[in-house]
Amino acid sequence: MPSPPVAKTVPRVQVLHGDRLEDPYHWLREKGSPDVVAYLTAENAYTDAVMKGTEAIQESLYAEMLGRIKEDDQTVPFRRGEWLYYSRTEKGRQYPIYCRQRAESAPEQVTLDVNGLAEGHPFCSIGPSAVSDDGDLLAYTVDFSGFREFTLHVKDLRTGALLGERIGKVASVAWSARPDTLFYVTEDHAKRAYRLWRHRLGASADDLLYEETDELFRLHVSRTRSRAFVLASSRSFTSAETRYLPASDPGGPWRVIQPREADHEYDVDHGVGPGGGLFYIRTNGDGFRNFRLVTAPVDQPSRARWTELIAHREDVMLEDVDVFACHYVVHERAEGLIRLRVTELASGEAHHVEFPEPAYDVSSEFNPEADVRAYRFRYQSMITPPSVFDYDLVERRLTLLKRTEVLGGYDPSRYRVERRQATAGDGTAVPISLVAPAGAALDGTSPLLLAGYGAYGLPYPVTFSSSRLSLLERGLVVAIAHVRGGGEKGKRWHDAGRMLNKRNTFTDFIAAADHLVAAGHTSRDRLVIEGGSAGGLLIGAVLNRRPDLAAAAVLRVPFVDVINTMLDEELPLTVGEFEEWGNPKIREHYEAMKSYCPYTNIADRRYPAILVKTSINDSQVMYWEPAKYVARMRARRTDDTPLLLKVNMEAGHGGASGRYDALKELALDYAWILGRLGRAGEARPQDATRRPERRSKIS
C-alpha cells in the first residue's frame, strides 16, 4: 500500500461556552492556496494509487451500467398552450436536448441543447427556467461551476437568438402574463435567495419589489397553475409567508395571504372558478403539524376566511396538493408510503389511488395545465423502473405512457422487495425498505449496503436504479433505513430527529443495522453503510458511536464539521438552518451538537474502511469539511484500514454533471464497496435473448 498524505497542523483555538475548540486543519478552508491544492491533489493521487488494482472492475461496472441505459431516449411530452414539450438524449452526448412540437407529427423545434451550452466547460447545469405565456420566449438559467450560481438568459424561440439579458445569482424566475415582463429572485453573498425583482425586456435597470431581511427566510417566485397569479413565497424551516399579484398586472401592488407566524408553514395554489376562484392552502398552523387543506377567497384570503376541506390527521401527512379546473389531487403519506387522494370539486366526492407494492415512490410529473381530465404522475419501486402514468380523474383509469427501458433482459422476478421494521431503544418502530436477490439466504452470509439520510423532513425515496443491479447481481442486499429527522411519518417524525432530538437519527440507524444483522440479512463483516450530505453527517456520527457497526462506510459530500460550519454565518445555508440543527452560540444547542458532530468526536480508536467523496465547488457542504474530517481521522485512528478521499476538482454538490461522467464516478464507488466485501467478480449473467414483459403490479 502507498503511504497516505499527512496534512500539516496549524494551531487554532476558539473558546465557546467555556470549551476550547481546537481546529488544527482550519487552514484547509483557504481555497486555491498552493498548500490546499497540493494536499487535495495528494489525496486524489493516494486514492488513485489504492484503487489502481480496480481499473478492470471499474470498467466492467461502467460497461454494465451503461449497457442497461437506452442512450437514445425521450421523455413523455406534456402540453402547455399550443405546444408539446419534451427532452431527449442522444448516444454519446452527456446532456439532454430540450424540444417542443406543435403536434406529434409537426417538425421538432429545439428550445435548448445543453450539449452546445456545455462546450468548453467541464461542468454544466440548467437551473430554473420558464416559457412566456405566448410560447415565444424562454427564460433559463445556467451554472458552469457546480457552485449553483445561476445566470439568467432569455432566448427568442422564434429566431433562436439570445436577447441581451445577463442577470447573475438568480434563484427562481416567473413570467407575468405579459411577454415583456418577468420576475426573478436573486441571492446574497451567502447564497440566500432574498430579493424579488421585476424586469422588463431590454430595460437597463430593474425594479426591486421586495427584500427578505430575516436571514432565516428564503424567497421564491412562481406562477400558479391557473396562470392567474404570481406568488412570492418567503419560507424558513418552520414558517412561511406568501404574497400574490395578478399575473395580468405586473406593475400592480402585492398582497399578503397570511402574515408569517412562528411554527406556521403554508403553501398556496389557485383554483379557477366563478368570481376569480379560490386559493387552496396547505397549512400546519395552530399545532396541526401534519397539515390540513383549506380554501380562501382571492379578495380576502387571510385565516379568518378559511374553509376547511381536509382536516388534520395525526397518522397521515398531507404532503402536496395539485389543483385543477374540476378536481384537486392530494399526496398523502401514511406509514411512510404515498397514496393519491382525488376530489371532485363540484360534488366534494373523494377517492384514493393506492399502490400494492410493499415499498415504492410516487411523485407528480409536470402538470402545467389546469383544465385537464388526466393527472400525470411517476411511479417506481426498487424493482419497478420509473413509470409515467396518466390517471383519468373522471373514469378512474390508469394508462401507462412510458416505462423506462432497462436493456439486457431485466427480469424483476430475480429480486424481492421487503418492508421491515426495527425497534429503536425508546421503542419507536423504524421502517426499512429492502431489495435483495430472490434467492438471498437469511443466514448472515449476504453482503448488504445500508443507506440513510434523516434530515429536513425529507423522506428517503424508494426508487429504482438500473445501476444498482450491478450490486444485486453480485449478491448484495440493498436497504434504506427511514430514520427520524426525515419525513416518512410526517412532521412529528421530522421534529423527533432535528435540533435537540438529533441523536434519534443516529440511534434509529444503528437499530436498523442491528435488526438486519439479527434477522440474518447480513453480518457485521458483510455490512457497508452509506449516506450523502446530511446523510454523511448521519454516517459520520454513527461511526463515532459504533465503529464496530459495519465493515466499511461511504460518505458522499458529508456535512461532518457541524459546529464550525454553524458558527460561520457567512457561509451558504448556515443561518437558515439554525431551525434544523440549532445555533451553537446558544449553549443548549452547542451541547447537543458537541455530542454528535462527526469531526469533533473523532477519537483514538479503530474505525472501519472509509471512502469520502467531495467536490471543490460544492456550495452546500464546502469541500473543506470532508477534507478536514479525513485529515483528523487519519491522525487519530489507531488502525491502518483504508481511508480514502476523492475530490472532484470540477464539480459541485451533486458531482459530475454529465451522465457518462456520473456513471464513472459511481463505478469507482461500487468497485470500492465490492472490493471491501470480496464481491468484485463478474455479475451473474442475464439472458439477453429473453426479454420478459417488464412487469409492475400496477398496469
Q: For 296-350, what is each residue's pLDDT tens digit?
A: 999 999 999 999 999 999 999 999 999 999 999 999 999 899 999 999 999 999 9
In the predicted model, what is the mean pLDDT of residues 126-133?
98
Instruction: Reduce the secondary structure of 641-654 to three states and give it as a string.
Output: CCEEEEEECCCECC
Which one, of 518, 532, 540, 657, lies nearest residue 598 by Cα?
Answer: 540
What is the percent of the chain with per-residue pLDDT over 70, rounded to a whole number? Answer: 97
* CA distance linking residue 634 with residue 184, whole number of Å: 46
pLDDT of residue 306: 97
Q: How far apart are CA 174 and CA 233, in angstroms?
A: 12
428-471, pLDDT tens digit by residue?
999 999 999 999 999 999 999 999 999 999 999 999 999 999 99
For residues 9-14, give the mean pLDDT: 97
Kindly provide the residue ranges of all beta strands, DSSP E only, lying in 460-595, ordered along the sequence.
Answer: 477-481, 527-532, 552-556
Interacting residues of 508 by C-beta distance below 8 A, sequence separation 6+: 422, 424, 428, 430, 454, 481, 483, 484, 497
Show Cβ contacts of residue 205 under 8 Å, excluding neighbours closer than 6 positions.
none
Instruction: With a cut of 90, say whether residue 252 has pLDDT above it.
Output: yes
Report, as an integer, the average pLDDT of 263-288.
92
- Please state the separation of Cα 429 from the chain's center in Å: 25
pLDDT at 688: 34
Active site residues: 533, 618, 653
Pairing of strands 609-615, 78-80: unpaired
**pTM, rounded to two decimals:** 0.96
Query: Which residues are CB-contacts of 419 (< 8 A; sequence separation ≥ 6)?
Result: 358, 359, 431, 432, 433, 434
The predicted pLDDT at position 335 comes to 86
The CA-based dihedral angle spanning residues 480, 481, 484, 485, taken in that order and rounded to the nearest 10 degrees: -40
Distance, in Å, from the CA atom of 78 to the CA atom of 75, rounded to the nearest integer, reads 9
**What torsion do the CA atoms of 58, 59, 60, 62 make, to the nearest 10 degrees?**
80
* Averaged confidence pLDDT in the chain: 95
For residue 283, what are the contacts with CB-CB under 8 A and spacing of at least 6? 264, 265, 266, 291, 292, 293, 294, 306
What pLDDT band is residue 682 in, cutting at 50, 70 and 90?
low
**Could you tell me the pLDDT band of residue 123, with boundaries at 50, 70 and 90?**
very high
Whether pLDDT at 589 is above 80:
yes
16 DSSP β-pair partners: 19
Residue-wise pLDDT tens digits, 50-104: 999 999 999 999 999 999 999 999 999 999 999 999 999 999 999 999 999 998 8
Whether the per-residue pLDDT at 695 is higher than 60: the answer is no
Q: What's 83's DSSP letter?
A: E
* Rounded Cα distance, 227 and 368, in Å: 9
**Is residue 491 very low, low, confident or very high in pLDDT (cuts 50, 70, 90)?**
very high
Is the predicted pLDDT of residue 613 greater than 90, yes or no?
yes
* d(C-alpha 435, C-alpha 22), whole Å: 43
Q: What is the pLDDT of residue 518?
A: 98
Lookup: cell for 307? 374553509
The band of 105, judged by pLDDT with boundaries at 50, 70 and 90, is confident
Q: Is pLDDT of 685 > 90?
A: no
Task: Give me the pLDDT at residue 356, please.
Answer: 86
Count of CB atoms situated within 10 Å of the CB of 12: 13
